[in-house]
Amino acid sequence: MPVSSNVSNSGACLRDHFLLAMPSLNEGLFSHSVTYLCEHGESGAMGLVINQPLDLSVAEIFEHLKIRPSRDFSDEPVMAGGPVQLDHGFVLHRGAGKHWDASLTVTDDITLTTSRDILVAIADGSGPQEYLIALGYAGWSAGQLEEELSRNSWLTVPADSDILFATPWQRRMSAAAGALGIDMNLISAQAGHA
């Protein structure tokens, strides 16, 4: 995953932004997706799709990792974070009060952690209370995201941590689009250029 904090070739760093899939992205994981960008720079971009659940619960992740939870996590879905490293877990969480073994600070308030210690803490109730767990991530090589943006594949909007952590996954697209005053259901799949 890229860890450059430089700005992109276009001069705009999109870290801590949502990418909203335009109707032209109508196949696969990115169809109707909202991706939270954790990193964006000259070497590329990395993010997590936050509204495409897998047929897998957090309880099943704990069972697979032989972590004993202190409560029932069977109603919490695991997101399909993206098509890269599908066997790796990512925990996006609010509140950076504790240090975890492998973390990337996205903002003063949001951290991405990939180490087992945070899962153990979430399971026993001592971890962050606001989190999103995903398998895999979305990655773009240098210039690739900028190219997709120029083809009108994505809308960008500054991220809102309440959409990440307090909005049900089914409503994250409409909430993020609503921040722009847009109803994604009214956008045509045909892109126009003047």
pLDDT in tens, 109-148: 999 999 999 999 999 999 999 999 999 999 999 999 999 9
Sequential pLDDT tens for the chain (194 residues) = 433 333 334 457 999 999 999 988 877 889 999 999 999 999 999 999 999 999 999 999 999 999 999 999 999 999 999 999 999 999 999 975 678 889 999 999 999 999 999 999 999 999 999 999 999 999 999 999 999 999 989 999 999 999 999 999 999 999 999 988 887 777 655 555 44
pLDDT given for residue 23 in this prediction: 86
pLDDT given for residue 184 in this prediction: 79
Q: Please list the residues that pair with 130 across neighbouring strands.
A: none
* Domains of the chain with bracketed CATH: 17-183 (3.40.1740.10)
Of residues 108, 78, 85, the one with CA closest to residue 15 = 108
Locate 149 and state its tokens.
Answer: 């943006």
Q: In terms of pTM, does the model score above 0.85? A: yes
pLDDT given for residue 12 in this prediction: 74
pLDDT given for residue 7 in this prediction: 38
Of residues 36, 30, 160, 44, the one with CA closest to residue 91 = 36
CB 47 within 8 A of CB 138: yes
185 by Cβ neighbours in 10 Å (0-12 / 13-18 / 19+) ranks as: exposed
CB 162 within 8 A of CB 176: no
